[in-house]
Amino acid sequence: MKKILITRRLLKSCEVKAEKNFDSIFNSNDELYSQKKLVELSSGCDGILSSLTDKLDSDTINKLPETVKIISNFAVGFGNIDLDTAKKRGITVTNTPDVLTDATAEIGVLLILGACRRASEGIESARAGGWKWSADYLIGKQLTGTRLGILGMGRIGQKIAKVAKSLGMIIHYHNRSKLSSDKENGAVYHDNLKDLLTQSDVLSICCPASKETVDMINKETIEYLPQGAIVTNVARGDIVDDEALIDALNRRKVYAIGLDVYKNEPNLNPGYLNHKSAFILPHLGSATKETRTAMANLAIDNIDEFFKTGNCKNKVN
């Protein structure tokens, strides 16, 4: 049986499956392991089932024992893992695509709705009591007829586009390449970021974090957005320069923001915390029972497939 370090707790049924399939080392306290502890615990292991909270940078990967042959990330994103170093060390890295598309797109849509319809202020007022309905009380931006710019039209972007279209939004997108017309489903393609941003009354960031996308939304690119645009991010915090976005919000260049992901999670930039126009969530993208179960099962299956065949369809490096 292969020995696998499982760095975070999984839902019970998934831990039962892991126990059946592997000689598993569980994290019963769901402790956030330091890089040092993760390396120590992986001694003698054949693989690691990691999560997005594990920082598997170059230094950490270089310290892993030779026995480790796979890092199966319990996430679709893999910005927490240095893929090049893993490849050099002969370690396969896998992720969990598809199974979390719907749940994450639901949160993507919630961010759009929450930011446009002033949900943070509304929740606060409802809790405080004493609010007085009036014709102009907490009026927000209606989605019908509004242009939604999707940055990164992968599976999650396409699902958000589908729902947003049914709400009457007009979809624009930017991607490395133009999609086939059935996947585009009427959306307007822009081959560069600037053109997309100029058409985005609402922006939905859905692209993966990579060296190319770090701080893509910054002081300069924010200026391409229409005055009073809304910015939402369901992908990764690294794509946004926080200071630039907070500044744009403060000077009303940006009307509202909806965020589920941040740089340095869970310690988000304090500028977001008490801003009335910030609708913020604690990285809930895939947080449903169905999806977390499917993700963990896929992360386990990826390890099984790798050791059975020497390869894995969800290999990312």
Task: Answer positive or negative: Cα dihedral of 122, 291, 232, 165.
Answer: negative
CA distance 43 to 65: 6
Please state, in angstroms and rounded to a whole number, the distance separating the CA atoms of residues 94 and 131: 50
Q: Which amino acid is at 206?
A: C
Angle at 12 between CA 282 and CA 102, to 5 degrees: 45
Annotated catalytic residue 283:
yes
Residue 258 C-beta: closest distance to ligand DGY, Å: 15
For 141, how many CA atoms within 13 A lie in the half-sphere containing its CB?
23
Shortest CB 236 distance to ligand DGY, Å: 7
Residue 52 C-beta: closest distance to ligand DGY, Å: 6
Query: Residues 106, 283, 292, 305: which is the catalytic one?
Result: 283
**Nearer to ligand DGY (CB atom), residue 38 or residue 100:** 100
Q: Which two tokens stand for residue 129?
A: 């009591």
Write out the H or E segment, with its range, that includes residue 59: helix 58-63
Smallest Cα–Cα separation from 38: which of 59, 24, 54, 26? 54
Give the residue with the Cβ less far from ligand DGY, 47 or 77.
77
33 or 78: whose CB is closer to ligand DGY?
Answer: 78
The token duo for 45 is 């292991």
How far is it, in rounded angstroms, from Cα 173 to Cα 81? 27
Instruction: Tell me how far, at minimum, the Cβ of 300 lies from ligand DGY, in Å.
Output: 15
For the chain, the 3-state helix, strand and coil shares in percent, each to the nearest 5, are 35, 15, 45
Which of 236, 251, 252, 292 is the catalytic position? 236
DSSP H stretches of helix in 167-239: 181-184, 193-198, 219-222
Is residue 236 among the annotated active site residues?
yes
Catalytic residue among 15, 121, 184, 265: 265
Nearer to ligand DGY, 95 or 199 (CB): 95
Q: How far is the CB of 265 from ligand DGY (least distance, A)?
A: 10
Nearer to ligand DGY, 114 or 208 (CB): 208
Question: Quick one: which of 316, 295, 231, 297 has its CA closest to 101?
Answer: 295
Residues in touch with ligand DGY (CB under 6 A): 52, 75-77, 100, 283, 285-286
> Which residues are known catalytic residues?
236, 265, 283
